[in-house]
Amino acid sequence: MKEQKGIIKELNQIAAVFEKILNIFIGIFVGILGLSVFIGVLGRNINIPVVWLDEVSTYCCIWATFFGFAVASRHGMLSNVDAFIHGFSERAKGLYEYFLDYISAALLWVVVLWSGKDYIAYAYNAGTLSAQLRIPLFYVYLGPMIGYAFAIYFGIVNIVNKISELKAAERK
């Protein structure tokens, strides 16, 4: 990819910072997940079960999964039907990937974030708490929403990058 300028460069720099932040949180969540599972298994083996660790590991898994989804979308590592696009020209592959980024960003925005905001608001207003930790469940539900929001941003950056690449290819 050639040298980026202007707003495209700024969008990619912001995306790189977001990705670093997400990777740090993913590492923290996976570390806590592993530690809580280890302590939970150890506790059961010595007959001192710590049941709330199951919730900790579940919530860390949820947050790490959706943050990982965002990072994967940044690098175009989400599932794709390679056999379908194998016969496409490079230009057609670029257009197809652009189309997929556009559709996924639109679906994430409309379906997930728009409908999810109501669910989180309901959980917040209802004051629902987790069973063992007694923390408000809307904190747990924020993880997927934050992950989806970052995935939308990364999708937009990918779309802008692909449009820039397609325009640069047309000029050649």
The reported pLDDT for the residue numbered 109 is 73
State both tokens at 2.
């050639």
Whether residue 117 has pLDDT greater than 60: yes
Which band of pLDDT confidence, cut at 50, 70 and 90, is reported for residue 91? confident
Which of 29, 54, 49 minimizes the C-alpha distance to 130? 54
CA dihedral 27, 28, 33, 38 (to 10 degrees): 100
What does the pLDDT look like over 145-156, one tens digit per residue? 899 889 889 988
**Least confident interval from 2-6, 58-62, 140-144:** 2-6
Separation of alpha carbons 35 and 49, rounded Å: 14
Separation of alpha carbons 141 and 123, rounded Å: 9
